[in-house]
Amino acid sequence: MATTLEAAQAQAPLTELPDSDRAFHVETHGVDFIPLTERWAKPRDVGALWAGASVQVEYFIYGAILMTFGFTFAQALSLIIIGNLSYFLLGLCSLQGPTTGTTVFGSNRASFGPNGSRIVAFFNWVTQVGFEVEGLILIVGAALVLAIKAGFDPGTAAKVVFVLVAVAIQFVLPFLGHATMVKVLRWLIVPFVVLFAVLAIFAGQHANLQGVKHGASWEVYLSGLAFTITLSGLGWTECGNDYTRYCPPESSKKAIVGWVFLGTALPEILVMTLGAVVGTFLATVGTSSNAFLPFAHQSFIPAWFVVLFLAFAIVQLFGINSLDMYSSGVTLQAIGLRVKRYQAVLIDTALCLVITMWAVFNSSFSTYLKDFVDVVIVWIAPWMAIYLVDWALRRFRYVPAELQKTKGSLYYRGGGFHWPALVAQLLGMVAAMAGLNATFSVPTWMNSVAAATGSNSFVRADFSVFMGIAVGGLVYLALAAASVRHEADRQDELLSQGAAGVS
């Protein structure tokens, strides 16, 4: 049932939030509309959540992996800075949540249609599961190194136990939900700032910043840029509104973008730079099947600090993995699975157990990561462009009540599919693939643009991010501008009539 915006805003705020909206209680909301009386979050809360997820060891390892491309330290530093500017994209893709009161793939129904959005939501679900497995691989790797430092040689049985325990612990935070994650991730900021500062002191004594004299070619530089952009801001754009939908509609857009950028880009630039510094003299961090294993046999860090660092790294990895698992849960709901949000977390937990068990025993982490990044680029670059172009064509507004309808809504169109968006997504993916310097074997015709820039995959340029964004956004603009502007007029009529939310 629709309710007027004026009436909703006139409702007195709750003196106490329901238990489901409080930390350390199970959140019951999912892809459904968040009532205005339960919008407890402020932009700085969103920034704190992202900061807690950014000051962590994954980005340290990404920085070390960059040095395996053959870059000079100066090249790697420029890539880290430029790549992390993409967090402005995450900020832009976080501005719809306060208005719609729903998740990314709840609001995505406007651009793709309720049924068309299910297709893209499936891509996102696979992506989130992949990032969850990445985090679990690192958690198990850190646990194995701690076992070695304790004098225990972990075999197959120990690895199985570590995976089981890690998956069980991982389940807790996303099961409890948004408020719990905000609080816990905020707690993790200060300890990791201190730990990374101490690590920087140790690393600074051994850094070899002039070790690579000539650096990589412009083709390899572009490949490194695609890698960095995807693992920073672009790779999180499909999650932004999952964490801003608890902000009230009147929240400052500048504050949201500012706090998101402050909480992500700045700490990640520092942490990735530290990883690149370590990569100048401990290159095996970026190439080992277990990214933490080199720390078990090095001499530049005292053993006591290695133990402390890895113990905190495990805790922090659980924190950032909770974001992936939380978003994958609400994405399962958007796909159409009729389960509660916390039940969707159980489904993901079971799946992650199986995949992580395989990955720990069968794949190199750096190879897994590079292959996975390629897959993410192909779909997420055009999707993000379509999502933002659609939002702009609608004059930055939606009708929340219509987004909650899966049939018969303003956004339903023919059979629940918005074909201009689907066509733009497909063509954008083809373009991204054509510009992709794939780390896995593909026929030359599939990545013809990248293949034309070099004789082998090690020296090819990667235009995938830019081609995917440009083609997806421009095709959608050409195909949908007239019809979406007409829908925007209809949106304004409904909003003027008070169809702002649901009750």
Task: Examine residue 376 and state whether it is found in any structural domain, yes or no.
Answer: no
pLDDT mean across residues, the chain:
89
pLDDT of residue 387: 98
Buried (b) or exposed (e) across 354-379, using 16+ Cβ within 10 A?
eebbebbeeeebbebbbebbbbbbbb
- Per DSSP, 107 falls in state H
Q: Give CA 264 to chain center in angstroms.
A: 11
Helix (H, G, I), strand (E, B) or coil at 7: helix
* Largest distance between two CA atoms of the chain: 70
Contact of 465 with 376, CB cutoff 8 Å? no
Mean local confidence (pLDDT), 10-15: 44
Output the pTM of the full model.
0.91
pLDDT of residue 7: 41
- In the chain, the number of structural domains is 1
Where is pLDDT greater, at 9 or 362? 362
pLDDT above 50 (res 3): no
Backbone angles phi, psi at 255, to 5 degrees: -65, -40
pLDDT of residue 20: 65
Q: How many residues does the chain have?
A: 503
pLDDT above 50 (res 293): yes
Helix (H, G, I), strand (E, B) or coil at 424: helix
Contact of 469 with 381, CB cutoff 8 Å? yes
* pLDDT tier for residue 376 given thresholds of 50, 70 and 90: confident
pLDDT above 70 (res 99): yes
List the single range of 35-49, 110-124, 130-144, 422-436 with lowest mean pLDDT. 130-144
pLDDT of residue 223: 92
* pLDDT tier for residue 16 given thresholds of 50, 70 and 90: low
Distance CA 295, CA 301 (A): 8
pLDDT above 70 (res 209): yes
* pLDDT tier for residue 12 given thresholds of 50, 70 and 90: very low
Considering the chain, what percentage of its residues have pLDDT values greater than 90?
66
pLDDT of residue 5: 39
Task: Examine residue 200 and state whether it is found in any structural domain, yes or no.
Answer: yes
pLDDT of residue 120: 97
Task: Examine residue 436 and state whether it is found in any structural domain, yes or no.
Answer: yes
Contact of 267 with 62, CB cutoff 8 Å? no
Mean local confidence (pLDDT), 309-331: 91
* pLDDT tier for residue 500 given thresholds of 50, 70 and 90: low
pLDDT above 60 (res 501): no
pLDDT of residue 8: 41
Range of the domain at 398: 2-370+381-502
pLDDT of residue 14: 46
* pLDDT tier for residue 83 given thresholds of 50, 70 and 90: very high
Dihedral over alpha carbons 291, 293, 294, 297 (to 10 degrees): 170
Which tokens hold the place of 414?
């023919």
Task: Examine residue 95 and state whether it is found in any structural domain, yes or no.
Answer: yes
Mean local confidence (pLDDT), 417-428: 98
pLDDT digits (tens, 9 = 90+) for 37-52: 999 999 999 999 999 9
* pLDDT tier for residue 502 given thresholds of 50, 70 and 90: low
Q: Residue 151 carries which side chain, given as an amino acid letter?
A: G
pLDDT of residue 395: 96
Task: Examine residue 57 and state whether it is found in any structural domain, yes or no.
Answer: yes
Distance CA 346, CA 427 (A): 35
pLDDT digits (tens, 9 = 90+) for 151-181: 888 888 998 999 999 999 999 999 999 899 9
pLDDT of residue 385: 98
pLDDT digits (tens, 9 = 90+) for 68-80: 999 999 999 999 9
pLDDT of residue 17: 67
DSSP 288-309: SSSTTGGGGS-SSS-HHHHHHH
Task: Examine residue 375 and state whether it is found in any structural domain, yes or no.
Answer: no
Q: Give one word for 410, left, alpha or beta, with left for phi > 0 and alpha for psi -120 to 50.
A: alpha
pLDDT of residue 282: 86
Task: Examine residue 224 and state whether it is found in any structural domain, yes or no.
Answer: yes
pLDDT digits (tens, 9 = 90+) for 241-266: 999 999 999 999 999 999 999 999 99
List the single range of 302-316, 336-350, 442-456 with lowest mean pLDDT. 442-456
pLDDT of residue 4: 39
List the single range of 105-109, 127-131, 298-302 with lowest mean pLDDT. 298-302
Range of 68-82, 197-211, 303-317, 452-466 with top mean pLDDT: 68-82
CATH of the domain at 257: 1.10.4160.10
Task: Examine residue 71 and state whether it is found in any structural domain, yes or no.
Answer: yes
pLDDT digits (tens, 9 = 90+) for 377-401: 899 999 999 999 999 999 999 999 9
Distance CA 402, CA 499 (A): 8
Range of 114-118, 146-150, 448-452 with top mean pLDDT: 114-118
Secondary structure element (H or E) that encloses residue 191, with its range: helix 189-204
